[in-house]
């Protein structure tokens, strides 16, 4: 039986099953990432970093600003790192104090301690997983369907 000769209901069931499977994997991956983030947070040390400069790069005719931050780690060593988020406007002011988290046993583990910067990826994966499962279930039950507009 080829895909073209299948009934609309069977096509919807296949689409629904695929969406449910993708949703389950996304949900599981999101939970794993969330657990890894929580594990990193438990190993992390809070510190206060100071914005010392900006890295300015041209992008689409505009300037993108990435803050360069500096802090003193638990060994007394001064460490600089770049904020991974670039904006068209500076995210922080020069000399502004920012709370960060870092894992002492790992280089380049610094991250700014905000909900968005820490939990954005797991939240998106979990949200996509739930959405895909819900829509896949609706397709599977034939309450929603794909209609090929070109055949009409």
pLDDT tens-digit series, residues 85-132 = 888 999 899 999 999 999 888 888 898 888 888 889 999 999 999 999
Burial class of 144 by CB neighbour count within 10 A (0 to 12, 13 to 18, 19+) = middle
| Residue 128 or 140, more confident | 128
Q: Structurally, how many domains does the chain consist of?
A: 2
Same domain, 5 and 36: yes
Q: CA geometry: angle at 113 spanning 108 and 118, to 5°?
A: 80
Same domain, 94 and 64: yes
- Which residues span the domain enclosing 82? 45-108
Same domain, 68 and 82: yes
Same domain, 32 and 56: no
Same domain, 51 and 40: no
Asked if residue 150 is part of any domain, the answer here is: no
Average pLDDT (62-75) is 92
Calpha distance 20→130 (Å, rounded): 9
Same domain, 56 and 82: yes
Same domain, 104 and 119: no
Residue 1: per-residue pLDDT? 62
Residue 149: per-residue pLDDT? 47
Asked if residue 149 is part of any domain, the answer here is: no
pLDDT at 146 over 70: no
Same domain, 76 and 128: no
Asked if residue 14 is part of any domain, the answer here is: yes
Asked if residue 49 is part of any domain, the answer here is: yes
Same domain, 69 and 89: yes
> Is residue 69 within 8 Å of residue 80, measured between CB atoms?
yes
Same domain, 68 and 92: yes
Q: CA geometry: angle at 21 spanning 16 and 26, to 5°?
A: 125
Asked if residue 19 is part of any domain, the answer here is: yes
Calpha distance 109→7 (Å, rounded): 53
Same domain, 51 and 83: yes
> Is residue 2 within 8 Å of residue 124, measured between CB atoms?
no
pLDDT at 49 over 90: yes
Predicted confidence band at 84 (pLDDT cuts at 50, 70, 90)? Answer: confident
Same domain, 104 and 49: yes
């Amino acid at each position: 039986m080829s895909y073209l000769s299948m009934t609309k209901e069977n096509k919807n069931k296949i689409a629904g099953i695929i969406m449910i499977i993708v949703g389950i994997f996304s949900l599981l991956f999101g939970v794993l990432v969330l657990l890894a983030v929580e594990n990193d947070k438990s190993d992390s040390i809070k510190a206060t970093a100071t914005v010392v400069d900006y890295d300015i790069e041209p992008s689409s005719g505009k300037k993108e600003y990435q803050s360069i931050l500096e802090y003193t780690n638990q060994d007394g060593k001064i460490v600089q790192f770049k904020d991974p988020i670039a904006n068209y406007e500076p995210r922080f002011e020069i000399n502004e104090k920012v709370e960060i988290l870092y894992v002492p046993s790992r280089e380049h583990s610094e991250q700014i301690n905000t909900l968005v910067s820490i939990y954005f990826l797991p939240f998106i994966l979990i949200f996509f997983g739930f959405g895909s499962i819900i829509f896949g279930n609706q397709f599977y039950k034939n309450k929603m369907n794909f209609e090929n507009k070109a055949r009409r």
